[in-house]
Amino acid sequence: MEEQDINIKITDREGVTHDIVAPTDMAMNLMEVVRSYELAPEGTIGVCGGMAMCASCQCYVESDTVLPEMQDDEEAMLSEAFNVKENSRLGCQIQMTPEMEGLIVTLAPES
Amino acid sequence: MIKTDILIIGAGPTGLFTVFEAGLLKLKCHLIDALPQAGGQCSELYPKKPIYDIPGFPEVLAGDLTKNLLEQSKQFEPGFTLGERAETVEKQEDGTFIVTTNKGTKHQAPVVAIAGGLGSFEPRKPLIANIASFEDHGVEYFIKDPEVYRNKRVVISGGGDSALDWSIFLADVASEVTLIHRRNEFRGALDSVEKVQELKSQGKINLITPAEVINVIGHGKVEGVVVSQSQHIEKEFIVETDHFIPLFGLSPKLGPIANWGLEIEKNAIKVNNALDYQTNIPGIYAIGDVNTYPGKLKLILCGFHEATLMCQSAYQRINPGKKYVLKYTTVSGIDGFDGSRKESPKAVVKAIK
């Protein structure tokens, strides 16, 4: 684990929780971390490439981590997505920064 | 029967550039796409988004890239079957393939190039348990013919441009239009939102927000929908209607291609390790985002490269034993199938000594 890495927990769609080491120096977002660790089948997550246009990377935030404020496009996409909860966010809109240390999320079901 | 040299499935950037590269080799192309217009994801999902990694274009809008690719391919007179999904493929005794769409349109070609990107775009269906039984009996996910709704009652659900635009359009066609959205705010263009507000104040559109349709009711056909407004005391009520049109955008699926006997890996079509992007079925190629091989990168520029190599292989397949020498367009120009000719002016720029 490098100095610039953070620890996060991701529960996949099968209910398996993974302890993940995520880099903060590669401009990665949570959706890209999920893809790089292959925690969801290719083609079922990050379908639009990370433009907040598909909700395939929707996740439920289980920790009290202070997240970046939701922008209009993310809010709008979630308003049309399925399986949305109060703690829903789009993984593609959560950048991996040192502030995300300890983040705990669960991937929303594929829809 | 539509006959061509290369039948391209998918009219996104990779498919469109294939037309150009095939044209240089005097091969004609025909494209099939489930969407009603060419351009794939670029024109469907993000036409106004800039792309920064197209060589030679420091910045280009996705929609403009599509327009440019269409312009570039125009001289090679591609044919298009749009708004139809490639459904089946049958190999013929002469080695050609017949591809039939969901609407029964048949196409025949010695080479099939699947450039399907993420797959065909299917409507995202709301999570309503009994909705499938009402499909085509009052529940529609696309509006193909607005006249179907003349003097009928229509409920539209969704918060994007499609929901707004069709609500506006059908206000003058249907006897009653109800627009239901989960939020008070809409995601569509500002002028569309304002128009809906105006039509609401004129009594031409019933607007129910924040709310969602949670059930469809009827005997053999749609007779009403159950609407939930959880923040109100009277949580659920019925809106009587003849049609329910959920417009929640599109989601790409590999679709029927997945049943063609092609080797699938990670929701993509496996090809022969970047040799010429042929699949496990000789004569069927897969290029662009739809394929996978070691080292694959899902980038438009890689799709262009794959299309170029694929065309060389397709040429050899269609013209076995025929010699071909790679030519530079700068030197040999371009002869369009439409009779046009493009070439650089003949002049000595600099001599090699």
Residues B258 and B327 both lie in one domain: yes
Residue range B232-252, pLDDT digits in tens = 556 889 999 999 999 987 777
- Of A8, A12, A10, A34, give the one whose Cα is nearest residue A21: A8
The domains found in chain A, sorted by start residue, are 5-107 (3.10.20.30)
What is the model's pLDDT at position B43?
80
Distance spanning both ends of chain B, measured CA to CA: 56
CATH number (domain holding residue B166):
3.50.50.60
Please give the residue of chain A at the shortest CA–CA distance from B298: A49
Q: Is the pLDDT of residue B9 over 80?
A: yes
Residue range B155-172, pLDDT digits in tens = 999 988 889 999 999 999
Interface test with B, best of A44, A51, A80 (most B CBs within 10 A): A80
DSSP state of B55: T
Q: Do A80 and B252 touch (CB under 8 A)?
A: no
Residues B264 and B217 both lie in one domain: no
Q: Do A76 and B185 touch (CB under 8 A)?
A: yes
Handedness of CA A2, A7, A12, A18 (dihedral sign): positive
Q: Do B45 and A53 touch (CB under 8 A)?
A: yes
**In which residue are the tokens 């769609």 written?**
A13
* Strand B291-292 versus strand B268-270 pairing type: parallel
Domain that holds residue B113: 2-121+251-342
Residues B140 and B183 both lie in one domain: yes
Q: For residue B325, give how far its alpha carbon lies from the nearest alpha carbon of chain A (Å).
A: 38
Interface of B with A in 187-226 (CB under 8 A): 187
Residues B239 and B142 both lie in one domain: yes
How far apart (Å, rounded) are the C-alpha atoms in residues A90 and A57?
6
Residue B230 at interface with chain A, using a CB cutoff of 8 Å: no
What is the model's pLDDT at position A108?
96
Interface of B with A in 55-114 (CB under 8 A): none
CB pairs under 8 A between A and B: 50
DSSP state of A24: S
Q: Which of B49, B248, B267 sits opposite A43 (nearest CB)?
A: B267
- Of B71, B86, B61, B67, give the one whose Cα is nearest residue B20: B71
Evaluate whether B236 touches B228 at the Cβ level (below 8 Å): yes
Residues B146 and B198 both lie in one domain: yes
Please give the residue of chain A at the shortest CA–CA distance from B124: A111
Residues B185 and B159 both lie in one domain: yes
Residue B350 at interface with chain A, using a CB cutoff of 8 Å: no
Q: For residue B323, give how far its alpha carbon lies from the nearest alpha carbon of chain A (Å).
A: 40
* Strand A17-23 versus strand A5-11 pairing type: antiparallel
- Known binding residue B37? Answer is no
Residue B349, in any domain of the structure: no
> How many domains, in total, are found in chain B?
2
Mean predicted confidence (pLDDT) in B121-143 = 88
Residue range A8-55, pLDDT digits in tens = 999 999 999 999 999 999 989 999 999 999 999 888 898 888 888 888
What is the model's pLDDT at position B330?
83
Encoding tokens for residue B140?
A: 């529609």
Residue range B88-98, pLDDT digits in tens = 999 999 999 99
Mean pLDDT of chain A: 91
Evaluate whether B292 touches B306 at the Cβ level (below 8 Å): no
Q: Is the pLDDT of residue B351 over 90?
A: no
- Known binding residue B330? Answer is yes
What is the model's pLDDT at position A76?
79
Encoding tokens for residue B28?
A: 């004609």
How far apart (Å, rounded) are the C-alpha atoms in residues B162 and B187?
10
